[in-house]
Amino acid sequence: MIKQAVIVTIAVFISVALNYIFNFLMVRMLVPAIYGELSILIGIFTVFMVPGTTIQTLLTREIAKLDRDQKESTIIFIIRKYTKITFFMGLVAAVLLFIFSYLIAGALNNPQLTVPIQLISIGIPIGLLLPILRSYYQGKERMAVLSGTLIANPLLKLIVGFSLVFFGFGLLGATFSLWIGSLALMFFLIPIFLKKTEGIAESFSMNKSFFYILSASILMIFFFYLDLFFVRYFLGPEQAGFYNVASITSKILAYAIGGSITVFLPKSSKLDIFNDKARIRKLLGKSLLLMIPIFIVFISFPKLIITLFYTESYIIAATPFVILSVGMFIFAFFRLFVNLMWSQHKEKIPLIITSVMILTNIFLLVYLVPIHGLVGAAMSTTLAGAVSLVLSLFAMRKIF
């Protein structure tokens, strides 16, 4: 596992670095208020990508089991089936977002956001198909190829986004770049979709699992961006831009665990939580090791990290960055726990814990942001994450 985890983790770090550079360049090429609006647009696009992530989780779990049993025909069958389902679901979501773009822009008190939101809607069906491609490689544990897709997407976003903003397209150019990588990678789905199969393909239903995992995934994404939305609402777009610097940097910790989770999910899907307890504990322990050095660096040199990449003008983000780093370290453990539960068909437990975490976060944000500003938002997120940690440890104690 360690070798695969290292390969994917390196790819995740490169991916995170490319996303970080993208934000780094946008900060310098756009004024803080426009960058704050771009942060909100990124949040909206990310929320609409959650169903794709859910499908990737479910398909990876099933493909891993089918690959273990050498049922390639069934694997191809479900890839074809859920490609069609996902694309249709994306079209419906795109139409709804396009129709309500005026209302969303009005709620954000900026009618000029209408066109960028509509531009995001065009990319939703395309962006939702990328997880289908990744589930195939992840479930078959082809981590090198999967790593290539992890790097290619943000690299294309960076190149296209920088070019369009540089040539004067501003917020529209940056918004368009959010889904250009998914469009390019769709060409790699075609050979899998058209692959010849032999024998009878089996079918399976994942409706109930899809609902539970989708619900929990949406809530976790909201948790990722709730603080930013509340900062934008209570403190305005400029403060949202400052806060996003702290937020996007601290989220490196949550993304860093993604490499380990990518390897962890197919491996844990092939195990049984009651009969393979020792192996699962070992997988959990190894998965957490790669995060600790990053966490230590973040809390030790916050001002250096913020000013190195974002200049002295963003030094205000250093204090919330430290607080958020603690919160994201906690949330990374929670993500690992959630994926363990999903791999074992125990989808209700993460949904319950995530719901409690979100309600706690909303309550704290409403109370603390107006009083303590950016620090209050960071404290709210970290404390809500601590609630999820306590509940997760309690659930694991009961299970094991």
pLDDT tens-place string over residues 168-198: 888 899 999 998 888 888 888 888 777 776 6
- On whether both 110 and 165 belong to a single domain, the answer is yes
- On whether both 79 and 189 belong to a single domain, the answer is yes
- On whether both 173 and 250 belong to a single domain, the answer is no
- On whether both 81 and 29 belong to a single domain, the answer is yes
Segment 93-112 mean pLDDT: 87
- On whether both 386 and 248 belong to a single domain, the answer is yes
pLDDT 10s digits, 193-222: 777 766 555 555 566 777 888 788 788 878
Q: Is the pLDDT of residue 287 over 80?
A: no
- On whether both 168 and 184 belong to a single domain, the answer is yes
Answer with the one of 158, 183, 204 that is the final residue of a domain.
204
Percent of the chain with pLDDT over 70: 95
Answer with the one of 186, 204, 222 that is the final residue of a domain.
204
Point out the least confidently predicted range of 18-27, 61-70, 237-246, 335-344. 61-70
- On whether both 222 and 322 belong to a single domain, the answer is yes
Q: Is the pLDDT of residue 253 over 90?
A: no
pLDDT 10s digits, 375-384: 999 999 999 9
The full length of the chain comes to 400
- On whether both 262 and 139 belong to a single domain, the answer is no
- On whether both 273 and 219 belong to a single domain, the answer is yes
Number of domains in the chain: 2
Q: What is the pLDDT of residue 281?
A: 77
Please check whether residue 227 is in contact with residue 381, taking contact to mean a CB–CB distance below 8 angstroms.
Answer: yes
Segment 290-315 mean pLDDT: 82
| Domain enclosing residue 192, as ranges | 1-204
Segment 255-267 mean pLDDT: 74
Q: What is the pLDDT of residue 197?
A: 64
pLDDT 10s digits, 239-250: 888 898 888 888
Point out the least confidently predicted range of 11-20, 69-78, 189-198, 331-340. 189-198
Point out the least confidently predicted range of 185-194, 297-306, 325-334, 352-361. 185-194
- On whether both 298 and 371 belong to a single domain, the answer is yes
More confident residue, 388 or 192: 388
Q: Is the pLDDT of residue 275 over 80?
A: no
